[in-house]
Structure 1
Amino acid sequence: MDLLTLSIIFIVTIVFIVISTTRWHLHPFLALIFAAYGVGIATGVPLLKLGETIRVGFGNILGYIGLVILFGTLIGTILEKSHAAISMANFIQRRLGERHPALAMTLIGYIVSIPVFCDSAFVILSSLRKSLISKTGASAVAVTIALSTGLYASHTFVPPTPGPIAAAANLGISDNLGMVIVVGLLVSLCAALAGYSWSRYIGDRYKTDEDLQLSVTDYEEPANLPSTGKAFAPIFVPILLIALGSVANFPSHPFGQEGLFTLFAFLGKPINALIIGFFLAMRLMPALNKETLNDWMSDGLQSAGLIIMITGAGGAFGQVLKATPMAELIGGSLDGMNISLLLPFILAAALKTAQGSSTVAMVTTSAIIAPLLGDLGLASDMGAVLAVMAVGAGAMTISHANDSYFWVVTQFSGMDVATAYRTHTVATLIQGFVALAVILILSLFLL
């Protein structure tokens, strides 16, 4: 089979995923599974091996990352339902809110969205956003876009958010999440600050009804908020443990090869770190009863189940691609083209813009480029980390009408659609390209 035929199969497959999920409203899980079968049959994967290939791909990625996604989602659920996210937001607001309301909302979003989905987090923080606007007289558009872009930044770059975890697993670096977190925090901070700068620029150029209607009475803070320390612990303790685990495994053995090395290597395993984070999150529960231990957990498990199924389907799709000659032929055609990190960015951006879901764009793109890492010059661990970042940058470019987050921002801020396109959508475009620029600069020093 020649390169042209394989390229046509590849393009048709991507078009099928986009059209089936957008126009036909097929669930992404089914779209990816059907795409895996379609690619396998079209490229001549032996029929008797095709089902086994899909099963192995589905099971392997979930074996690496399924429990990590599950416990990360449970932590986010507890932070949401216990109002710990409000405690974290209040901590930052007290220090920056009165003087720099837009910057305060950017940092609040940047931190809260590490474990909590940006859609849910915007809803949780919307009342606090209104309160800050009314107290400071700041532009409602500026504060809204600062929050939406702050949330959006860490959502696509920093584990334990499912998108970057799934991408890391597809690219074979699930055991090196510490480096993904460190680089992701830097890249996402630059993207968040780009969103903040844009919010300041457009803040006085657009108005919404909130600029005239808000008063301080619009915000009623939940009673019995958890302490700031308890609220932050489920996020930062796992991140610290994963980072220490990565340091412990450095070739120089900074903690030796026994004792502290064993301790930090064990605690730094992502699943172990997140289980500890989960127990820290349980301290936020107002009581240990049926509502918290069963109902809250059921909500979290349902959210995690959908993500895990999509991630597994992405793994199956990627495994079929590895079983075809597609990677070898396409990889040979890339020799000397020097597109490296641009390919994952462009592919993820196309998928995100077309079908709306950042998570689906990250899972699909990472599955496609996994067999191409060597040909792209990204075969090292750091190369794979930067590939995860490039996929994340593409998966945030751009948020518009087919993205549920776009409608959350518009509906909870009272922003009309035209204004949202000019402010929120353009902001996500800027964030994606700024993040890509940062990634390309990092690649000059790290590759």
Structure 2
Amino acid sequence: MSLVLILLAVVGFIVVATSRFKIHPFLTLILAAFIAAFAYGLPADQIAKTITGGFGGILGYIGLVIVLGTIIGVILEKSGAAITMADTVVKLLGKRFPTLTMSIIGYIVSIPVFCDSGFVILNSLKQSMAKRMAVSSVAMSVALATGLFATHTFVPPTPGPIAAAGNLALEDSLGLVILLGLVVSAVAALAGVLWANRFRAVEIAGDEPQTPEEVETQWRTMKASYGTLPTAGQAFAPIFVPILLICLGSIARFPTGPMGAGVVFETFSFLGQPLNALLIGLFLSLPLLKPGDRIAQFNEHIGKGIAAAAPILLITGAGGAFGAVLKATPIGEYLGTTLSALGVGIFMPFIVAAALKSAQGSSTVALVTTSAMVAPMLGDLGLATEMGRVLTVMAIGAGAMTVSHANDSFFWVVSQFSRMPVALAYRAHTAATLVQGITAIVLVYLLSLVLL
């Protein structure tokens, strides 16, 4: 029992330090690793070695993938590729299902672009579509936000899911994580659309009345600020080609050997490794650079991508350090056996991630911390198989979206850009993320009954 009390105390420290005292998650997780090491009685001469080994180990697996994915996202954002993606979806789906169309746009854009940035970029389109299709801007805002949020927490190369997969030793099975993540996130996004439709008649009091023509002009002005927009092929290629290659690489490595053992297998096995696939994606993003000094543009985007990736890398590495300490203690075996006896199983990582997300606000921190914490317990929870680990990532992702409220930057981006009063934002956006998280974990549980 003392083992559990120590773990609860350490988790409590993480929550209080990040949410109450606003200490950076990187430092919090490193301190938590030291506290856990001393509390569990690890040999003093092994503590630093364990922490640095865990820090370097996870970044060795996944660090470069996070950096490349972030750089691609910056290029797609700055070049206007996200605008092209949105326009392409609108042309394909038309105006018959406005909230569903808005959700699908968010679902696609948030795979390479952070959900906060995605909402800001697409806000003008959302307002324009709401006016053109005579739908409440509240409903359209919730549909866009939940579509963005779905892939943000489930689908690599978004950093959170990648880091969780790395912590759970799935770096060679990332294609499987992507495939299952696309399915689970699609259901979560649909749940968000259904919730958004509850607000189709809700208007925001005090909104300045704008004609559809005025809103359309704003959208066209924003598009014009990007200059010549890329084509649909140029916009989609840097993200969907790497995803396709990673998935094909995973298929090539199936035990049944569907691609044989010759040149085809070796080719897709090589190209399907996440680092190689994302490097190809980076090259495919080069046509998105504006005419002129492309080298200077490219270097600028790389610099911004590295700057954006740096805190994520530090948090990911610190999570790996924390997880390495827990792996060196008996808590994994003890807690795994206890929870298995209670029949908690796949719900355990969901509960931990949901508690961390709700307490400190960051989905990425919840994904990294929870995956590091549960990694030593997977064997005793009956989740140590490849599919068990993939489903664990999905369960953690479901928890990491439950719920987005006042301590989450995304909550304020959605509410402020949509001009929603805070009370309405809680009813519309926060409740939507709760519905999404519960829907996702129910689906993950049903999948575990079939796949495990």
TM class by smaller structure:
over 0.9
Q: Does 1:430 align with 2:435?
A: yes
Task: Give the Cα–Cα distance (whole angstroms) in 1 for the partners of residues 260 and 361 of structure 2.
Answer: 47
Which of 93, 96, 114 does residue 96 from structure 1 map onto? Answer: 93
What's the TM-score once normalised by structure 1's chain length?
Answer: 0.97
Q: Does 1:418 align with 2:415?
A: no
Task: Give the Cα–Cα distance (whole angstroms) in 1 for the partners of residues 93 and 136 of structure 2.
Answer: 16
Structure 1 pair 98/211, CA: closer, same or farther in 2 (3 Å)?
farther
Q: Does 1:87 align with 2:92?
A: no
Task: Give the Cα–Cα distance (whole angstroms) in 1 for the partners of residues 207 and 363 of structure 2.
Answer: 29
Matches within 5 A, 1:6-405: 6-210=3-207, 212-213=209-210, 215=214, 216-219=216-219, 220=221, 221-222=223-224, 223-287=227-291, 288-289=293-294, 291-405=296-410
Task: Give the Cα–Cα distance (whole angstroms) in 1 for the partners of residues 31 and 109 of structure 2.
Answer: 35
Displacement of 1:204 in angstroms is: 1.3
- Check conservation: 2:204, 2:419, Cα contact below 8 A: no
Displacement of 1:291 in angstroms is: 4.3
Q: Secondary structure at the match of 1:423?
A: helix
After superposing the two structures, state which structure 1 stretch, 210-219 or 411-420, moved more: 210-219
Q: Deviations over 1:15-71 (max 9, x none)?
A: 111111111111000000000000001110011110000010000000000001000
Task: Give the Cα–Cα distance (whole angstroms) in 1 for the partners of residues 340 and 133 of structure 2.
Answer: 56
After superposing the two structures, state which structure 1 stretch, 267-276 or 217-226, moved more: 217-226
Displacement of 1:282 in angstroms is: 1.6
Q: Secondary structure at the match of 2:209?
A: helix
Displacement of 1:290 in angstroms is: 5.3
- Check conservation: 1:146, 1:195, Cα contact below 8 A: yes
After superposing the two structures, state which structure 1 stretch, 374-383 or 279-288, moved more: 279-288
Task: Give the Cα–Cα distance (whole angstroms) in 2 for the partners of residues 417 and 118 of structure 1.
Answer: 19
Displacement of 1:94 in angstroms is: 1.7
Q: Deviations over 1:274-319 (max 9, x none)?
A: 0001111122111443541222211110011110110000000000
Structure 1 pair 342/101, CA: closer, same or farther in 2 (3 Å)?
same
Displacement of 1:212 in angstroms is: 3.2
- Check conservation: 1:210, 1:413, Cα contact below 8 A: no
- Check conservation: 1:130, 1:218, Cα contact below 8 A: no
Task: Give the Cα–Cα distance (whole angstroms) in 1 for the partners of residues 116 and 71 of structure 2.
Answer: 16
The one-letter amino acid paired with 1:110 is Y
Task: Give the Cα–Cα distance (whole angstroms) in 1 for the partners of residues 327 and 283 of structure 2.
Answer: 38
Task: Give the Cα–Cα distance (whole angstroms) in 2 for the partners of residues 270 and 209 of structure 1.
Answer: 48
Task: Give the Cα–Cα distance (whole angstroms) in 1 for the partners of residues 296 and 95 of structure 2.
Answer: 37
Task: Give the Cα–Cα distance (whole angstroms) in 2 for the partners of residues 336 and 310 of structure 1.
Answer: 33
- Check conservation: 1:141, 1:208, Cα contact below 8 A: no
Unpaired runs of at least 5, structure 2: none
Displacement of 1:97 in angstroms is: 4.3
The one-letter amino acid paired with 2:363 is S
Task: Give the Cα–Cα distance (whole angstroms) in 1 for the partners of residues 36 and 337 of structure 2.
Answer: 20
Count of aligned positions: 444
- Check conservation: 2:135, 2:201, Cα contact below 8 A: no
Task: Give the Cα–Cα distance (whole angstroms) in 2 for the partners of residues 210 and 88 of structure 1.
Answer: 28
Unpaired runs of at least 5, structure 1: none
- Check conservation: 2:136, 2:202, Cα contact below 8 A: no
The one-letter amino acid paired with 1:423 is A
Instruction: Compute the RMSD of aligned alpha carbons.
Output: 1.2
